[in-house]
Structure 1
Amino acid sequence: MAAGKPLKNLLGLVQEGRTEEALQFIQTSENLDTSYLLHKKSGDSLLHDLATVGATQVFEAILITYPDTDINIRNFDGKTPLHDACQQGHRDTVHLLLQNGAKVNTLKKADWSPAMLAVTHPGRLDILKLLVKYGADLTLYNKDGWTTFQSGARSGDLEVLQFILNMHQDAWKNISKNGRTSLHTASLAGITDVVQFLLRIGGDPNSMDSCGNTPFMDAIRSANIQLLDIFLSEPRLKPDQCDKLGRNALHIAAESGQVDAIIKLRKIGLDLESKTGSGQTPLHSAAREGQTEVVRFLMQEKVDINHRDKNGRSALFLAVSGQHTDTSAILLQYGADLTGDNAGTFVETLARKQDIRELLERHKKN
């Protein structure tokens, strides 16, 4: 059967938009082996590639010319052409595949279904409706416990979420295997209208995942200040809640560089020098991640620059350990000392970058 170079030539015509020539190629070829693996690493066949680029006419010509074509052929990850067409949002190709017997509920390596992949981008409601028409099960969940609803929550398509809820009214209540809800997902993605919608229908702003992260903390990580305001106006919110490491919202804001969020959190009563389980303050969090503007702000607020955690580590210790030159410079400027930790590790020994070593040397001389 013809394979290898002939198939690559066909794919080349498709990718160049030369559809008529591709159709002629199919009609004049004999025994075209559509199951041949064009990509040895992924296991993708010609059919996967055609689905990925949405070459509906060419795909249809192959199915007509070679009626025994395995439309559900899998690559090494278990993906079928339907998975690829859904993931790329090619509605016509999805429709063609479904009409010709594509299995609608196949999970790739116990992972994502075609429906889950279809809604990873907004504007795919028409594809989801097609999948449902052909029997898609929207209650399926993948190896991480995610459902199509949670996938839609991350992409931020309210129409998709409402469509799913019309079929399965409790879909929003699903919790992944690591304890994350759809509200966590939408909050981390910073999708304001979806978060508002989920809060309105009962989403818990204080629910904790397996690490103790709440949707409120994830909203801070998203750096969406409007989203932060939405949570702060939520009467059920417990703003001082801590994760399993003892970090509160201020620590999260500090490590993610959110000065505006820190200001808002301080106004509602959170302590700029609150301690985690290991005794670290928001200054430690900011210094460890090299969040220079947060460090500068906290210095102006006169927090304890030399506070040491339970291991004896200061903010400067963490900044130098992380090789954050600018952050280390600001801490030294505001009076950070070079005392080492409880294990006897000196700050100077942590410096691997030349500019940090020079910075510490100049400080010692002064």
Structure 2
Amino acid sequence: LLLARDDLDVNWKGATNETGFQCACENGHAKIVNLLLARNDVDANLTGRMIRTGFHFACEKGHTEVIKLLLAKDDVHVNLKDFASRTGFHLACENGHTEIVNLLLARDDLDVNWKGATNETGFQCACENGHAKIVNLLLARNDVDANLTGRMIRTGFHFACEKGHTEVIKLLLAKDDVHVNLKDFASRTGFHLACE
């Protein structure tokens, strides 16, 4: 009904700096997202609160159906960065949204080793938060560097050891190319962090 009006500003940002499209993405309203994506005047890459797009919000909240709709559009940019230089991939990895991570990994344009402002990759976010299924998906790829260092010069292994994520540690130890003796900013290994 509202979309039938010629004078409707679909890209208007409210007091929280969000468009209606971003609100629909964040709240998982796939039917509304689909209606809005069908229009020529909706900017799906417009940023709002926390310099995030609707794509960021849907990745963070785990709205798989919304992500599928967004990924079907050629003009939705999956590597846009938010206020902390994180992509939707970071947010999906951090929050354990395995199906969304899987959908993103199927894309050729995804930068899997991008480091956000806190210097962490999506892989490190998954390790730190104990998301073993996502870690397993990422370890199976050739383009994910499990030994990249991030915040505090730590690897995913450091973060998993510090947080006590046994399933993630098992996956990492099963890989020959994961270096378990790498040192962090204080010259501590994952073993040190597990012992603390």
- The TM tier, using the shorter chain, reads 0.7 to 0.9
Letter in 2 for 1:283: F
Shift of 1:260: 3.5
Quote the Cα distance in structure 2 between the aligned partners of 1:176 and 1:347. Answer: 46
Question: Are residues 1:350 and 2:188 paired?
Answer: no
Letter in 1 for 2:56: M
Q: Which residue of 2 aligns with 1:194?
A: 32
Q: Which residue of 2 aligns with 1:175?
A: 13
2:129 paired residue among 289, 303, 311: 289
Q: Which residue of 2 aligns with 1:274?
A: 114
Letter in 1 for 2:58: A
Cα distance per residue 1:48-103 (max 9 Å; x no partner): xxxxxxxxxxxxxxxxxxxxxxxxxxxxxxxxxxxxxxxxxxxxxxxxxxxxxxxx
Q: Which residue of 2 aligns with 1:99?
A: none
Give the paired residue count.
191
Cα distance per residue 1:321-344 (max 9 Å; x no partner): 333232223222323414331133
Q: 1:310 to 1:291 in 2, by over 3 A?
A: closer
Shift of 1:296: 0.7
What are the equivalent positions in structure 2 for 1:216-365 lying under 5 Å apart?
A: 216-266=55-105, 267-302=107-142, 303-309=144-150, 311-334=152-175, 335-351=178-194, 357=195
Q: 1:231 to 1:316 in 2, by over 3 A?
A: same
- Contact conserved, 2:11 with 2:43, CA < 8 A, in 1? no
Shift of 1:166: 7.5
- Contact conserved, 1:316 with 1:338, CA < 8 A, in 2? no
Letter in 1 for 2:126: A
Quote the Cα distance in structure 2 between the aligned partners of 1:245 and 1:237. Answer: 20
- Contact conserved, 2:59 with 2:89, CA < 8 A, in 1? no
Letter in 2 for 1:341: D
- Contact conserved, 1:251 with 1:281, CA < 8 A, in 2? yes
Gaps of 5+ in 1: 1-161, 352-356, 361-366
Quote the Cα distance in structure 2 between the aligned partners of 1:176 and 1:344. Answer: 48
Q: Larger helix proportion, structure 1 or 2?
A: 1
Quote the Cα distance in structure 1 between the aligned partners of 2:74 and 2:123. Answer: 29
Cα distance per residue 1:145-164 (max 9 Å; x no partner): xxxxxxxxxxxxxxxxx36x
- Contact conserved, 1:211 with 1:244, CA < 8 A, in 2? yes
Shift of 1:269: 1.9
Q: 1:190 to 1:290 in 2, by over 3 A?
A: same
Letter in 2 for 1:194: I
Quote the Cα distance in structure 2 between the aligned partners of 1:209 and 1:245. Answer: 13
Q: CA RMSD in A?
A: 2.8
Shift of 1:212: 2.1
The structure showing larger relative contact order (alpha-carbon pairs under 8 Å, at least 6 residues apart) is 2
Q: Which residue of 2 aligns with 1:55?
A: none
Gaps of 5+ in 2: none
1:211 alignment partner, SS class:
helix
Letter in 1 for 2:164: Q
Q: 1:212 to 1:318 in 2, by over 3 A?
A: farther
